[in-house]
Chain A
Amino acid sequence: MKKALILAAALTLVPTFVAAESFENAYLQARAMYGQGAVFEWNGKQYAAVHEEEVEADIAATAENAQMMVDKAKAKNKEVAELGFEWKLTRGIIKDAESALTAGEYRKALDLAAQAKYHARMGIKQYHYAQSSWQLSVPQ
């Protein structure tokens, strides 16, 4: 009886452990603990904890590239705003990126625009998560 209960409990918890070992969790943990570019291992291979926007912004610091990144950030933020999940600081970061671009500080513009685009992308992700999870905290 006792063994059976332990087995049942283990079966119930298996999905939790599987989820804890997902690539995303390993990535987020490495990023949170060791910061941008932290190297972590997942399923026997090594990866770097870099946001996709940071990869995008890792290009030559030119006016054209900076403008392109600012445009991408603006487009993504428009997308999240339409979903009603825009974050508070994003517009300001885009403005700062535009100011840096005007001032000829292209690296700074690229990095700020990447940050803004990341905010917007996370807002979209949050929107999709909310659609399936908002019910969880409603008292029953």
Chain B
Amino acid sequence: MKIIKTMAFGVGLVLSAQISQAADSGFTLETVNPEADRVALQNYFKKRFPDAELNDYVNGIYAVDSNSREQWEEIEEFPPYEFAVEEGEALFNTTFANGKGYADCFENGGIGIRQNFPYWSKEEGTVKTLEMEINECREANGEKVLKWSKGDIAKVSAYMAWTSRDQVIDIKLPEDDAGAMAAYLDGKKFFYAKRGQLNLSCANCHVQGANIRIRADLPSPQLGHTSHFPVFRSKWGELGTLHRRYSGCHKDSRSHPLKPQTETFRNLEYFQSYMNNGLAINGPGARK
């Protein structure tokens, strides 16, 4: 009898653990809880890297690896993105053929607003990114749209990020809008689902694999990921947008990469940016 009781207790413990895990999950539209996700992610990294400051996660791997940080700090003495920011400012202030400019398309003349992107547009039923609105601004004013990944769009975006430095990321997720929640969930699911010939999820490298070598590279923690984009990567030798990096990462898992600004990538950006709420914008950044 005693054995049966002990077994029943043991099995009960196993089952209750599974049930409580299911209750916390937030894996469906009915149960998804972005704030719980954000807190859980922060707690995860606090446990993994107890010496790292929460606010420092905007610096990626440099928040948790001191050797990489030393090199990066030297790079930041003469930031490689400086010229691109200046060019971005010039582009931003160049009037379109119709006499209008980027400042006419954005709130506050486009200055200090990076922290509010991406956002959910109820009217359009989709996630809107900063780069998307830069191109929409051009189109609405009779200008040619820019290519998504690099070049002028990254420069304009970099200037706008520069004017938003130290602004606190504030991504809104209207709880009464199922569309917004579905977009968030889609982004979350993309981040955690294994894909590609290497059977890797974003999380495999940037959650469980953060600061663990993949050959010569140390993957950054996912917390803080979007804060410093666009980014000047030494590998690229130039500035690139967040979605350029997404495509690269997607390809690295040996997946056929999605195109920048596709709905899936915008939803991924929405999810990742929400995770960074409370952290500060520090774009553009410099990375390896």
Indicate if the CB atoms of B194 and A126 lie closer than 8 Å: yes
Indicate if the CB atoms of B203 and A137 lie closer than 8 Å: yes
A65 to chain B, nearest CB (A): 26
Chain B hits for A88, CB < 8 A: 196-197, 251, 254-257
User: In the complex where A3-B3, A130-B193 touch, is A140 in contact with B207 (Cβ < 8 A)?
Assistant: no
B41 to chain A, nearest CB (A): 5
B105 to chain A, nearest CB (A): 32
Q: Which of A5-13, A27-35, A37-45, A102-110 contacts B (4 or more CB under 8 A)?
A: A5-13
Residue of B nearest to A136 (CB): B192
Say whether A81 faces chain B, with CB atoms less than 8 Å apart. yes
A81 to B192, CA, bound (A): 19
User: In the complex where A126-B195, A126-B199, A129-B194 touch, is A85 in contact with B255 (Cβ < 8 A)?
Assistant: yes
Indicate if the CB atoms of A140 and B255 lie closer than 8 Å: no
A56 to B21, CA, bound (A): 44
Chain A interface helix/strand/loop/mixed = helix
Indicate if the CB atoms of A137 and B204 lie closer than 8 Å: yes
Q: Which among B7, B188, B194 has the highest number of chain A CB atoms within 10 Å?
A: B194
Indicate if the CB atoms of A87 and B256 lie closer than 8 Å: yes
Which residue from A3, A4, A130, A135 sits with its C-beta under 8 Å from B195? A130
A9 to chain B, nearest CB (A): 8
User: In the complex where A87-B254, A88-B256, A139-B44 touch, is A8 in contact with B192 (Cβ < 8 A)?
Assistant: no
Say whether B143 faces chain A, with CB atoms less than 8 Å apart. no
Chain A hits for B68, CB < 8 A: none
Say whether A55 faces chain B, with CB atoms less than 8 Å apart. no
Chain B hits for A87, CB < 8 A: 196-197, 254-256
User: In the complex where A88-B197, A138-B188 touch, is A7 in contact with B256 (Cβ < 8 A)?
Assistant: no
Say whether B25 faces chain A, with CB atoms less than 8 Å apart. yes
Inter-chain CB contacts under 8 Å: number: 87
Interface size class of A (residues with CB under 8 A): 20 to 34
Indicate if the CB atoms of A140 and B7 lie closer than 8 Å: no
Say whether B264 faces chain A, with CB atoms less than 8 Å apart. yes
Residue of B nearest to A2 (CB): B6
A100 to B96, CA, bound (A): 52
Which residue from A4, A12, A126, A135 sits with its C-beta under 8 Å from B6? A4
Chain A hits for B73, CB < 8 A: none
A103 to chain B, nearest CB (A): 25
Indicate if the CB atoms of A84 and B192 lie closer than 8 Å: no
Which residue from A85, A86, A129, A134 sits with its C-beta under 8 Å from B192? A134
Chain A hits for B41, CB < 8 A: 139
Residue of A nearest to B201 (CB): A137
A72 to chain B, nearest CB (A): 19
Q: Which among B189, B251, B257, B258 has the highest number of chain A CB atoms within 10 Å?
A: B189
A139 to B258, CA, bound (A): 26
Indicate if the CB atoms of A4 and B2 lie closer than 8 Å: yes
User: In the complex where A7-B3, A11-B11 touch, is A138 in contact with B197 (Cβ < 8 A)?
Assistant: no
User: In the complex where A88-B254, A130-B195 touch, is A5 in contact with B25 (Cβ < 8 A)?
Assistant: no
A4 to B5, CA, bound (A): 9
A9 to B188, CA, bound (A): 34
Within 8 A of B (CB), among A40-90: 81, 84-90
Q: Which among A7, A133, A137 has the highest number of chain B CB atoms within 10 Å?
A: A137
Q: Could you list some 6 contacts between A and B, CB below 8 A?
A: A4-B3, A5-B6, A8-B11, A11-B11, A85-B195, A134-B193
Which residues from chain A sit less than 8 Å from chain B, CB to CB?
A: 1, 3-5, 7-9, 11-12, 81, 84-91, 119, 122, 126, 129-130, 133-135, 137-140
